[in-house]
Structure 1
Amino acid sequence: MVMSVFLSFIFPPPPSLFIKAMSVVSLTSLAYTGFSEARGKHLNYSKFWNANFLKSTTKQIKLSSRTGMLFLYTPAFLAALTSFVLFPHHDFRTLLLKSALALHFFKRIFEVLVVHQFSGGMILDSAIPISLSYFLSTASMIYAQHLSQDISEPPVDLKYPGILLFLIGIGGNFYHHYLLSKLRGKGDKEYRIPNGGLFNLVICPHYLFEIIDFLGISFISQTLYAFSFTLGTIFYLMGRSYATRRWYLSKFETFPEDVKALIPYLF
């Protein structure tokens, strides 16, 4: 019953072993990484850039935060742009998907160059798998959509609600990144408790809106791969936000106990 309802919202999976395998890999790897974050084993960027540094016995290469972030997002952005050349003749849904992915990663690059205030750095060993994940997920999502061109549309059309969710997500994410950037003056690298927007309810509202962003992209796409990647992203950001809240509690005695990690009043 549940499966039949779910299948009414997605294209039938294409006969592609690659896409089927990537659906499983994306979901399980992101979910596992989120579980690891919650347990204290972090990807080394942002406030956790040196979390595992003292535990490592091998020499680690450190990137500046700006260089590392550009390395994360640029390959995925180029993959989305290249898809307009590789697959020029597509329907409206596929055009929406390619445009949403290109805009998503363009916004991230713009924020790195113009908005964000950085402290710390990023470890190359963490930057490589994150960049590869973004690139492969973008390419796989577009390729899965390409394979769905000649398959009948799902009974329930979600692309227009998807556009709305995407715009809400990308706008809310940008706004809260802007609020974070205003916490520090030029040259100031000290962390402070964020405020304004939804920061009074959750410590990671930018993650919440990123989830809404990817839900919108999944609704636009309506492929199994897109939903698998988004579900994995939700698990990852739940783990990362839980670890972030725990970090703030450990660093600031005045951190409000009623401020949740990701979902207002719940989690």
Structure 2
Amino acid sequence: MMIPVLENFMFDEPSVWVTATTVATLLSTVYLGFAELIGNHLQYSKFSNSNNSDKKQGIKLSSRTGFLILYTPAFLAGVVSFFVFPGGGIRFLLLKFAVTFHFFKRDFEVLFVHKYSGGMILGSTILISIFYFAAAVSMIVVHYLSLGLPDPSIDLKYIGLIMFVVGIFGNFYHHNLLSKLRKDKDKGYKIPNGGLFNLVICPHYLFEIMIFVGLSFISQTPLAFACTFGDSMYLIARSYETRKWYVNKFEDFPKSIKCVIPYVF
């Protein structure tokens, strides 16, 4: 039984198995954030060589291939959901569209926006891909199972849609700024600037958190909120480690630049 105050904001859980999935999702994603803080980084981007020597890392993929593996299964799951679960009302339609579009955008950026400096370790690639695929599938399936249950008394779906759209544009804008830091064959790192980079080192993470908050507001299932909370904890931890990496690498890194929340953290 859900805590009464939460009934205003969330659907009830349709079964004990869904509740177990929600708890498992929350715990596993929070663990990933904790692992970042203790130095056990998922090995991609600037942390692709952080944990072990090259001989112990395992198979290394090109960044473009790795990121496509990350996002494509979740994108395809979103596409398939329109055929497997047709109908379901405006909320369900918005959720399926938002999940599908988010991962389509990520694949688009991989192919046409991002510029790469290193590779990705296969193990981390598979782990993140499984998380994104599981998050996409579970948010859609659990919402489908919740169809017919009483709606939460406070409807957040249109607020969620607005937050999702703002997050999409903000995330894309700052990814584009990052790509412009490098010339065609330049693989070095520079201190980002422009947009919110003058305030935080990871504004793209801030807007990705906003995307997931938007998804959870559209869906309003406990599992969607669990995905959002866990993903947010991971991205906040990753941004903290990213700032620390920049501080160590660049002596002139501005100390006023925060991790992910302007003026706060």
Q: TM-score over 0.5 for the alignment?
A: yes
Q: Residues 57-72 of structure 1 correspond to what in structure 2 (within 5 A)?
A: 58=56, 60-72=58-70
Is residue 30 of structure 2 the alignment partner of residue 15 of structure 1?
no
> Please, which of 105, 112, 117 is the counterpart of residue 114 of structure 1?
112
Q: Secondary structure at the match of 1:122?
A: strand
Deviations 1:25-53 (A, max 9, x none): 22111111111112211000011011113
Matching residue's letter, 1:29 = S
Alignment partner, residue 25 of structure 1: 24
**1:4 — aligned with what?**
4
Letter in 2 for 1:9: F
Cα distance in structure 1, aligned partners of 2:196 and 2:3: 35
Tell me the residue number matched to 1:205.
203
Deviation, 1:16, is 4.5
SS of residue matched to 2:242: helix
Deviation, structure 1 residue 21: 2.0
Instruction: Return 5+ residue gaps in structure 1 as ranges.
Output: none
Contact 2:39-2:51 at 8 Å conserved across structures: no
Distance, in Å, in 2 between the alignment partners of 1:242 and 1:38 is: 8
Q: How does 1:140-219 map to 2 (within 5 A)?
A: 140-219=138-217
Distance 1:178 1:137, change over 3 A: same
Post-superposition offset of 1:173: 0.3
Letter of the aligned partner of 1:260 in structure 2?
Answer: K
1:108 to partner: Cα distance:
0.1
Partner of 1:38: 37
Q: Secondary structure at the match of 2:247?
A: helix
Rounded to whole Å, the distance in 1 between the matches of 2:132 and 2:16 is: 20
Confirm or deny: 8 A CA contact 2:59 2:122 kept in the other structure: yes
Offset at residue 7 of structure 1 (A): 2.0
Which residue identity is paired with 2:12? P
Report the TM-score, using the length of structure 2 for normalisation.
0.97
Determine the C-alpha separation between the residues in 2 that align with 1:59 and 1:197.
35
Give the secondary-structure state (helix, strand or coil) at the position aligned to 1:194: coil
Distance in 2 of aligned mates of 1:83 and 1:30: 24
Q: What root-mean-square deviation, in Å, do the aligned CA atoms of Structure 1 and Structure 2 show?
A: 1.3
- Which digits, 9 at most, give the CA deviation of each residue in 1:196-234, with x for residues without a partner? 000010000000000001100100000000001100011
Letter matched to residue 201 of structure 1: L
In structure 1, C-alpha distance between the alignment counterparts of 2:182 and 2:141, rounded to whole Å: 41
Q: 2-side partners of 1:213 and 1:261: how far apart?
A: 18
In the alignment, the residues of structure 1 paired with residue 12 and residue 22 of structure 2 have an alpha-carbon distance, to the nearest angstrom, of 13
Q: Distance in 2 between matches of 1:203 and 1:256?
A: 10
Distance in 1 of aligned mates of 2:66 and 2:117: 12
**Contact kept? 2:43, 2:49, Cα under 8 Å:** yes
Cα distance in 2 for partners of 1:38, 1:174 equals 26
Residue equivalent to 1:87: 85
CA distance in 2, matches of 1:137, 1:241: 21
Q: Separation in 2 of the partners of 1:16 and 1:189?
A: 49
The one-letter amino acid paired with 1:63 is: L
Rounded Cα–Cα distance in structure 2 between residues aligned with 1:217 and 1:39: 29
How does 1:202-241 map onto structure 2 within 5 Å?
202-241=200-239
One-letter code of the match for 2:171? N
Number of residue equivalences? 264
TM-score, L = length of structure 1: 0.96
Kindly tell me: are residues 58 and 251 of structure 1, through their superposed partners in 2, closer, same or farther at Cα, counting changes over 3 Å? closer
Q: Give the C-alpha shift of residue 59 in structure 1.
A: 5.5
Deviations 1:214-263 (A, max 9, x none): 10010000000000110001110111000000000000000011100010
Structure 1 vs Structure 2: percent identity of aligned residues?
57
User: Match of 2:78, as an amino acid?
Assistant: A
